[in-house]
Amino acid sequence: MELKTVPLYAGIDLHTLHDSRHVSNRLSINLCVPLQADTVTPYALLGEILGRSSQKYPTFAALNRRLYDLYGSFYDCRVSSLGDCQVLTLMVQGIDDRFCLEKEPLLTQLADFLCDMLLCPCADQNGFDAQLVEVEKKNQRDEIAAQLNNKRAWALQRAREQVFCGQPAAIPRLGWAETLDAITPASLYGSYRRLLREASIHIIVSGSGALSQVEEPLRRRLSAITADRRPLSICHHSVPTAPEKTEQLEEMQMNQTKLVFCLAPCPPFTAQQYGAVRVAMALLGSTPFSRLFVNVREKESLCYYCDGRYNRLNGLTTIDLGLDYKDCARAEKAVMEQIQALQAGDFSDSEIEDTKKYLLGGFASMGDSLGELDPWYLAQIIEGRCQSPEQAADQVRRATREEMVTVYRSLKPILRYTLAEEQHPEKE
């Protein structure tokens, strides 16, 4: 499956992925801007506003009726963070035209629907609907507060904030609750106009249909925003750095301690190493038979879960565990022993082959789901590369033991972060 790109306007590109195996088509409009403290909160709020209504479909009921008319198509709008980039995505997915009762051009209608949701929001000269803004501000405030309930995600976020202090990668995806109060219907509409003006827009259309037929309607509809556009370039500058205190403890009312180790590659990994990086990280902690899972969790029973991940866009490797506070020291020793063993090349050929098979299975099945292909290629586009799952799989197959050892030896610990219950045993 080949990604084809057609520039529509400056900073607006159409990417198509055709695969006749699918019975549906998926369209997403992705507005990509640099993560910035002054825009992250209102842009996250826009994700909720644009997901609820438009001038054509001013109520949730009207929106749902339109989706039913579009053969039960699915619509979603969400905000995500990829590296130093904030992305607002509007997505719709529906059946291919050949399955429509009257063979009507559903794909073109889906493109028009998505443009309606983006370009024609419920707003007037005074800004967005005041009641809608207040409702969504409350929802976003609640969602930010609810992040504390997911202690694992919260611990990872707090650790990232320490190693990326003062850098874009430290900015939370939804922004901050305290900045919501200052947002008004008028100021939010100003943020919306700014987003249309400054975003790099990537439209991804995938599926089995005649995907090129959406080019003309998209070009026609998006011409309305081209006059004053000044798209910002997306650069990934955040570098994981050891904080002044490399061992940090925070306390919270909770039942299970969270332990996070942050490691940074020195020197940073190159694109040519990504195959070896994928295999190395999977063997370390990303599979059910990884070294961390088998040894730290299963053999030594030191934690309830353990996981190791590498974020290619910001260069950070994290290892996180959920455990009893009394086991923290032993767990740290066990984790570091596994890393040192891997750095010494102490792993078998069968472990390498099993890990490769696990990864290759994931790449092989990716083409079965448009919902997986779309975000895969978006991340590639934002990174400035366009590697297909098949090309990534080839890199994995070619990865050698020596390359994996080089990856392991590049990892340098920069932070140990512990989120513990307020009355942990050490205080008693």
Q: 39-96, pLDDT tens digit by residue? A: 999 999 999 999 999 999 999 999 999 999 999 999 999 999 999 999 999 999 999 9
Asked whether residue 31 carries a pLDDT value surpassing 80, the answer given is: yes
Q: What is the pLDDT of residue 410?
A: 97
Encode pLDDT of 321-366 as tens digits: 999 999 999 999 999 999 999 999 999 999 999 999 999 999 999 9
pLDDT category, 236, cuts 50, 70, 90?
confident
Give the separation between CA 205 and CA 225, rounded to whole angstroms.
20
Q: For position 249, what pLDDT does the model report? A: 96
What per-residue confidence (pLDDT) applies to 125?
A: 84
Percent above pLDDT 70 for the chain: 98
Q: Taking all residues of the chain, what is their mean pLDDT, rounded to a whole number? A: 95
For residues 183-201, average pLDDT: 97
- Does 428 score more than 50 pLDDT? no
Residue 205 has pLDDT above 50, yes or no: yes
What band does 245 get if pLDDT is binned at 50, 70 and 90? very high
pLDDT at 424 over 80: no
The domains found in the chain, sorted by start residue, are: 3-225 (3.30.830.10), 247-427 (3.30.830.10)
What pLDDT, on a 0 to 100 scale, did the predictor assign at position 362?
A: 95
**Tokens 């509007």 found at:** 90
Has residue 260 got a pLDDT over 90?
yes
Q: Does pLDDT of 296 surpass 70?
A: yes
Total number of residues shown for the chain: 428
Evaluate if residue 426 carries a pLDDT over 60: no
Write down the pLDDT at residue 425: 57
Count of other CB atoms within 10 angstroms of residue 197: 15
Residue 280: per-residue pLDDT: 98
CA–CA gap between residue 14 and residue 161 (Å, rounded): 34
- State pLDDT tens for residues 136-148: 999 999 999 999 9
